[in-house]
Structure 1
Amino acid sequence: MNPPNCAQALAAAQTLGLERLDAQLLLLHALGKPGDARAWLLAHDTDILQDRAAEDFRAMCLRRAAGEPVAYIVGHKEFFGLTLQVDARVLIPRPDTETLADWSLERLGASGMPPVPAVLDLGTGSGAIALAIAHSLQTEGRQAKVVAVDASADALEVARGNASRLGLALDFIQSHWLEKVSGHFHLIVSNPPYIASADPHLEALAYEPLSALAAGTDGLDDIRDIVRQAPGHLLSGGWLLLEHGYDQAEAVCALLAQAGFAQVQSRLDLAGIARCSGGLWVGA
């Protein structure tokens, strides 16, 4: 059987049930092209694939058809303008989480913040939020002491690798939330697990680590722990910012207010959903 051209390979992928965008990204990866080169495919749709590229593409398509996320197959994901290496040890960074990174940078740029603020990212996973903050501040000519925490040694290995590839200096701590963290911070930020343990949506996320997704019967167990522990590690005037589920803003804001946080508020993602909530710690 003769190797297909690009157009034929994409058509074959769609017969397996792949979305066209997924098929294009996988084909670009098989061809050694960057993920933003989709226009190249349109201009080379009659190019014949070499045998190895055709075999690799077919194998990747079968993995995607079985439900494995594209990011795990190609080994990387874009987040906040950074290319992060990801695999099944960490949650895949979502565009929605850029709302949390944006808000974090806004708080760090507000008046009253010191020249070198101390930032803590809880449940760092691939390091996405911590690295986005550190890179953005560095680009602005600013510095920060950024500490990334995760309970998983495997996740921290991924995050360290990403930090090294990006040339960013972060500190890493293996800890269940703040249990092994010392010191005080101007900003604590977290995208913790927030899906209810019986939520049917978890089935579609079976390839990603369950410990990074589910948090008790209502999805708020980990957020409760963070809100309870954070005041002991926040400087007066520091902020706690949390990502949460699409329908959890009211509950999370109530937890923050009950814990003594001021200026409790939420932020909308690009879809207009209250995706993050946070508050100011003014001291006990």
Structure 2
Amino acid sequence: MTAPKAQDITIQQIKQQAAQTAKDLAVPPFWITDWLLHVIDKPALFLMTDDAYQLIEREFAQFNTGITQMQQGTPLAYLTGQQEFWSLDFKVNEHTLIPRPDTEVLVEQVLAWINAQPVEQSDGIENKRLLDLGTGSGCIAISLAHELKIAHKLKQANWQVVAVDFSTEALKIAQENAVSNGVNIEFVQSSWYDALSTHDDDLFDVIVSNPPYIDEADEHLLRLIAEPISALSAPNHGLADIEHIIKQASKYLKVGGLLAIEHGFDQGLAVRQLFAGNSFADIKTIKDFGGNDRVTLGQLS
């Protein structure tokens, strides 16, 4: 974006140029206006009510620096340090993946399964356990904990949520996100299940994961310069981590418990076969908002 002098640039001018700027950068147009709002620290309504506002020198410099970084491949969420998911706000940085809307399908399906389970008759509230493997920013674990906390207030089950990640830097971000979203989660530094117990009392009712599933040879990875590649790609055509999670799940999941995994659009059949070959029943694959296979679920039999 060719920058005039700061005292000459207004919100209206940036809005008029936003579509072309976005096209030049190959990014969504809202990235430009959302970045502008972040820089000037104003609500969205400000773009309509105060479009004659002139950026001061510092704002103008920061705005253009961000545009340059977008041009170099930095996503908007890394510039603002924030991403919304499940109507909650999450801090993100270069150590975490940016939460995608399609991952909300995983959260929806897990909650639907939990809500469909019969309530056991007892004098007290049931204690249940849920595990999120490869939590990253914590968006899945925190969103589930947020909803399950509401269920607990309605005198349903009391859920303990455990979130695992190999990256200590990612866990720091996830812990901050848990605090800011008012949920209590146990965070564990571990390579998948390695640091977890197989004792009967420690088994989980639900295991969820959005593991790396992009083929290491996928040419699209070359364009992803900002997000951690280790959290995106896996060997064996992207199936290595998924296969490990499924094969080891029976040691950590209660009989009848749910395993739910996000995967690539072309991996539904392969993932269902892995579920079927590892003692899972009631297996189904759910499509994302774009109509692509995205989440496979099954119950341990």
Q: What TM-score do the two structures reach when normalised by structure 1?
A: 0.94
User: Which of the residues 96, 99, 104 maps onto 2:102?
Assistant: 96
| SS of residue matched to 1:106 | helix
Residue in 2 aligned with 1:40?
A: 46
What code does the residue aligned with 2:134 have?
A: G
Residue in 1 aligned with 2:210?
A: 191
Residue in 1 aligned with 2:294?
A: 275
Residue in 1 aligned with 2:233?
A: 214
Correspondence list, 1:141-220, <5 A: 141=153, 143-182=158-197, 183-220=202-239
- Is residue 20 from structure 1 mapped to residue 26 from structure 2 by the alignment? no
Deviation at residue 32 of structure 1 after TM alignment: 0.8
Query: Which runs of no fewer than 5 residues in structure 2 stay unpaired?
Result: 121-125
Residue in 2 aligned with 1:8?
A: 13
Call closer, same or farther: CA 1:113–1:85 in 2, change over 3 Å: farther
Deviation at residue 113 of structure 1 after TM alignment: 5.9
Q: State the aligned residue count.
A: 279
| Whole-angstrom distance in 1 between the partners of 2:21 and 2:260 | 44
TM-superposition CA deviations, 1:24-59 (whole Å, max 9, x none): 01000001124xx1x431332221112221121111
- Is residue 129 from structure 1 mapped to residue 135 from structure 2 by the alignment? no
Residue in 2 aligned with 1:64?
A: 70
Q: What value does the CA root-mean-square deviation take over the aligned residues? A: 1.6
Deviation at residue 139 of structure 1 after TM alignment: 2.8
User: Do the aligned partners of 1:3 and 1:50 also contact (CA within 8 Å) in 2?
Assistant: no
- Is residue 83 from structure 1 mapped to residue 94 from structure 2 by the alignment? no
Deviation at residue 273 of structure 1 after TM alignment: 1.3
Deviation at residue 10 of structure 1 after TM alignment: 3.9
User: Which of the residues 277, 281, 292 maps onto 1:262?
Assistant: 281
| Whole-angstrom distance in 2 between the partners of 1:210 and 1:119 | 26
What code does the residue aligned with 2:11 have?
A: C
Call closer, same or farther: CA 1:113–1:103 in 2, change over 3 Å: farther
What code does the residue aligned with 2:220 have?
A: H
| Whole-angstrom distance in 1 between the partners of 2:100 and 2:119 | 28
- Is residue 240 from structure 1 mapped to residue 245 from structure 2 by the alignment? no
Query: Which runs of no fewer than 5 residues in structure 1 stay unpaired?
Result: none
TM-superposition CA deviations, 1:144-193 (whole Å, max 9, x none): 10000001111111101111111211001111111111120000000000
What code does the residue aligned with 1:137 have?
A: L
TM-superposition CA deviations, 1:215-265 (whole Å, max 9, x none): 114100000100011110011110100000001000000000001101111
Residue in 1 aligned with 2:123?
A: none
Quick check: which has more Rg, 1 or 2?
A: 2
- Is residue 112 from structure 1 mapped to residue 127 from structure 2 by the alignment? no
